[in-house]
Structure 1
Amino acid sequence: MPSEAPPTDFSVARIHETVLQMLGAGVLPPVVQAGHPVLRQAAALFDGQLNAEELGQLIHLMRSVMRRAPGVGLAAPQLGIPLQVAVLEDEFDVDPEAAAVRGREPLPFFAMLNPHVRPSGTASVAFYEGCLSVNGLQAAVARPENVEVDFTAPDGTRQQRSFSGWQARIVQHETDHLHGILYLDRAELRSLSNNAEYSARWAQPDIGRARQELGFLPG
């Protein structure tokens, strides 16, 4: 298991100032890359650091950055903001065979604050993952196949939702970002591939061939 990350050293005032500067810049910010300290700190719980309008603007900005990348999720720390806010959306057209094997169903856009994820059942499954904050690499990660998530919606209501398959993977990946965890912390490191090698060799619906030839997760 990844070690516990230290809490962010950003004050409430600094978080607020950072967000306002970003919102006022008039351009989409870059995605913070691995090696930046904000990705290795536990983000602050959202507790009114932003008013409703500012939060709405931040979520809109995060959605725009996610779609530009393109990606299926983005956490506030990936923009250099150590706050427990994440956006998720998976509306991509994917190969039907791969979608079936991976349990990948469309995920309409939503935002979550202060999520708490817990496994539902004992089943786990491993697939390759990438990350907008780890450019050029992918690796296989085993995660619970089904999860339940408690979170606060942007309107302040508490919600509980269940996710399975690829949706559960996205939710877990983004929640990890809020706790200073990168997917590489959970990855089978012998599976690590750059994007070109992954596309050429391991982009099958499942990881069976990669597992055999790279020698990880022996079955």
Structure 2
Amino acid sequence: MNDADELIAAQIRSVLAVAADNGGVAPIVEAGDPVLRQVTRPFGGQVDDAELAQLAEVMRATMLAAPGVGLAGPQVGVGLSMFVAEDPGSHDPETAEVRQRAPMPLRVVLNAQYTPAASDDVAFFEGCLSIPGYQAVVARPREIELKGQNLDGTSIAEVVSGWSARIVAHETDHLEGIMFLDKAEMRSLSTNTSVATFWNQPSTQKAAAELGFTLPSGMLM
């Protein structure tokens, strides 16, 4: 292995060691750490299958403990192109319909890339475990085409839609050193408390009208 791959292997083993002493959960890296702004390296055998599976388990446990619905390698300090995602969906029928938020079973994706698979964007509040306490409205494609590999190495080439597409796009952006605030409507930036107090509607129409920003053309919800 070259030096870069040896660094990835060392990062993974460090995370596994820390998690082993912390109930299987790793610390989440917060905004300002350089690892969040670096382009990740593709998985290419830097560690064996057992260690890679252990990393996936730690990342899922860390994500759920936060709690969150997605977590990328850089968020635990590993510059590897890998993310985990799992979403129980929305328990509110109206929110589930407006946001197209259906349950998404656990998935672990290596070397992810995505492109828009539909011409329309939708804009909703989202947050990030690496920027705790804040949310902002981000416009993202309603559907994306995801390519990558599963944990067992099988290829992925599929269309992901609705809220699951938002999660996948958010986590894949992390692999390119992109954070959600880079794409956010900054007039919408709100604390979690403010979102719960003022903007807990299924849609973002009220927030757009009262905070003074524009939703994507054709977004009627």
Classify the TM-score, shorter chain. over 0.9
CA RMSD of aligned residues (A): 1.2
What residue identity is the alignment partner of 2:40? Answer: A
2:100 partner amino acid: G
Q: How does 1:78-97 map to 2 (within 5 A)?
A: 78-97=75-94
Task: Output the TM-score relative to the length of structure 1.
Answer: 0.93
CA distance in 2, matches of 1:164, 1:215: 28
CA distance in 1: counterparts of 2:71 and 2:31, whole angstroms: 14
| Pairing 1:11–2:4 present | yes
Q: Once the two structures are superposed, what CA deviation does each residue of 1:161-188 show, in whole Å capped at 9, x if it has no partner?
A: 2111101000000000000000000000
Asked if the contact 2:26/2:59 (under 8 Å) is kept, the reply is no
Query: What amino acid maps onto 2:110 in structure 1?
Result: L
Structure 2 unaligned segments of length 5 or more: list them. none
The one-letter amino acid paired with 1:22 is V
Following superposition, the deviation at residue 205 of structure 1 comes to 0.2
- The percentage of counterpart residues that share the same residue type is 47
After TM superposition, give the deviation of residue 99 of structure 1 in Å: 0.9
C-alpha contact 2:89 2:96 (8 A) present in aligned 1: no
Distance in structure 1 (CA, Å) of the matches to 2:118 and 2:174: 23
Amino acid at match of 1:184: L
Say which SS state the counterpart of residue 169 (structure 1) adopts: helix
2: distance between equivalents of 1:21 and 1:72? Answer: 23
Separation (CA, whole Å) in 2 of partners of 1:94 and 1:38:
35
Segments ≥4 residues shifted beyond 2 Å: none
Residues 37-95 of structure 1 deviation map (CA, whole Å, 9 limit, x = unaligned): 01111111111111101100000100100110111100010001010010010015531
Aligned length in residues: 210
The correspondence for 2:206, drawn from 193, 206, 209, is 209
Structure 1 residue identity aligned to 2:78 = I
**8 Å contact from structure 2 (residues 125, 204) kept in 1:** yes
TM-score of the aligned structures, taking structure 2 as reference length: 0.92
Q: Which residue of 1 aligns with 2:48?
A: 51
Partner of 2:173: 176
Matched, 1:145 2:138: no
Classify the secondary structure of the residue corresponding to 2:124. Answer: strand
Shift of 1:108: 0.3
SS in structure 1 of the partner of residue 102 of structure 2: coil
Does the alignment pair 1:70 with 2:67? yes
